[in-house]
Amino acid sequence: MRPVEPDELLSGSRPARWKVSLLGILAVGSLVALCFLNPIDQDPAYHRLADTRSFAGIPNFLNVASNALFLVAGFYGLCVAWRKRDEEFLAGWVRGPWMVLTASLFLTGLGSPYYHWAPTDATLFWDRLPMSIGFASVLGLVLIERVDVSLGRLLWTPLVLAAVGSLVFWRAGGDLRFYGLLQGWALVLVPLILILFPGKYADGRSWAVVLAFYGLAKVFELCDRPVYRLGGIISGHTLKHFCAGLAAFVIARLLHTRSRTNSSDGTTPRAA
């Protein structure tokens, strides 16, 4: 009989093989399919946002200022991740991925205003970089905490490096395919993991709220000008920042408040 590895003890029972295989097929299949698509260029019109009003010498004021919630959420999350005891994570090393995720939220609150102050492809890189690290971190963390600790530990760092690489690839060759794939993985695989795999923490509803806010943010992003035309008060892009910032705050909050569940049935243990 082989010895039981420490991460296996943390993971509890192994997940059903078909579920893990489904995730692998979707991820690898989409990556292979992407290689047969034509390159995706950055649309120059992306930088022409509806609300360009200035205030107090700050251009595009509302699109700049509406990122403040990322700074608050990221700082809050960093403090929570730093102060939590090792035993509150599945393993002490899981603090690291959470620190990276919450740091990416905070840095989004710096990179996004930098871009919106003077929108160009060059400044957009610094807007997207922390966001892409955040997408990869969330995907890696749900793999760690819901699918399998060992698998998540193996994949988390490559996912984050791939996120950075997708943006370097875009800036070097003007091709957004791999950055788009990363967002697609986050939007498809994360909800699928939440549905298929029981949680080790009572945080499933919070993750659903995160996804709902982010989905709403994408809708507002696509409706930038139509929303602004409704009254000329606020644009869809500004509302996108509010919704995405609320998603970031929910992430920090769930890390602070969540509790462990019974690994066998996904329910929260009752107090004695």
Convert the chain into a string of H (helix), E (strand) and C (coil): CCCCCHHHHHHCCCCCHHHHHHHHHHHHHHHHHHCCCCCCCCCHHHHCCCCCCCECCECCHHHHHCCHHHHHHHHHHHHHHHHCCHHHCCCHHHHHHHHHHHHHHHHHHHHHHHHHHCCCHHHHHHHHHHHHHHHHHHHHHHHHHHHCHHHHHHHHHHHHHHHHHHHHHHHHHCCCHHHHHHHHHHHHHHHHHHHHCCCCECCHHHHHHHHHHHHHHHHHHHCHHHHHHCCCCCCHHHHHHHHHHHHHHHHHHHHHHCCECCCCCCCCCCCC
In this prediction, the residues of the chain whose per-residue pLDDT falls under 70 are 1-15, 262-272
At 199 the pLDDT is 82
At 234 the pLDDT is 96
At 13 the pLDDT is 55
Residue 139 domain-assigned (yes or no): yes
At 39 the pLDDT is 93
Residue 40 domain-assigned (yes or no): no
Residue 190 domain-assigned (yes or no): yes
Say how far apart CA 145 and CA 260 lie, in whole Å.
11
At 197 the pLDDT is 92
Domain coverage including residue 141:
63-257
User: Around Cβ 15, how many Cβ atoms within 10 Å?
Assistant: 18
At 144 the pLDDT is 94
At 203 the pLDDT is 82
Residue 262 domain-assigned (yes or no): no
Tell the residue number behind the tokens 């000329």, with chain if given.
232
Say how far apart CA 124 and CA 77 lie, in whole Å.
24
Task: Name 201's bridge partners.
Answer: 260
Which CATH number covers residue 94? 1.20.1070.10
Residue 32 domain-assigned (yes or no): no
Residue 25 domain-assigned (yes or no): no
Residue 42 domain-assigned (yes or no): no
**Counted domains in the chain:** 1
Residue 219 domain-assigned (yes or no): yes
